[in-house]
Amino acid sequence: MKIFKNIAISRRIRKNLKQQTTNLNGKKLQVQRVGCIVDIEEISKVDFLKDFIKSYGINSENYVILGYQDKGSDIQIEGIPLFSWKDINYSGNIRNYHADRLWELEYDLLINCFSTPKLPLLLLSSGVKAKLRIGLAGIDPVYNDIIIQAPLNDGITFIQEAKKIIKTIE
């Protein structure tokens, strides 16, 4: 059964990537709405993301941090809502309130905080509408507009590099 689910997810990812567009098109980036997808198994503390978002003066209703956990035994960790493998149906759709919220809105910036390509993370990332996508090395470049070469366990370096890049685009 897992094979059929993987096939459905892969199809959905390909469909999402075909529909995906970069919305900057030479315009300046104004960071007002941020989405973050985090692999909780790779990063246990996301304080550096919260600090990054607060540095832009973004209110809590204008950002979403969503974590992924393979087993999905928890609903949230340290205030970060989670989705898991079991939240994806056999059609490749995610049935999770927080993932739906992430998919509904368009973001100025999407931060993909994962370096291991897991189908659920790629599915979610490919379906989010964002003007700019920043991620880490180890993930296929089609999922990110900008790839930062920083170790994932060093969130401070990742955020410093992201700020430098955003400053040049602002």
pLDDT, one tens digit per residue, over 152-169 is: 777 888 888 888 988 887
Dihedral, 153, 157, 162, 167 alpha carbons, nearest 10: 170
Do residues 64 and 102 make contact, with C-beta atoms less than 8 angstroms apart?
yes
110, HSE (Cβ side, Cα atoms, 13 Å): 28
CA neighbor of 124 nearest in space, from 90, 158, 88: 88
| pTM score of the predicted model | 0.90
* Structural domain boundaries enclosing 126: 2-21+29-169
- pLDDT for the residue 73: 67
Average pLDDT of the segment spanning 23-34:
77
* Tally of helices (H runs) and strands (E runs) in the chain: 5, 7
- pLDDT for the residue 143: 92
Q: What is the CATH number of the domain that holds 77?
A: 3.40.50
More confident residue, 73 or 89: 89
- pLDDT for the residue 157: 87
- pLDDT for the residue 26: 63
More confident residue, 74 or 64: 64
CA distances from 142 to 6, 14, 136, 137, 147 (A): 19, 11, 12, 12, 10
Task: Count the domains in the chain.
Answer: 1
Report the distance separating Cα 20 and Cα 130, nearest Å.
9
Looking at this protein, which amino acid is placed at residue 130?
A
Do residues 134 and 148 make contact, with C-beta atoms less than 8 angstroms apart?
yes
- pLDDT for the residue 22: 63
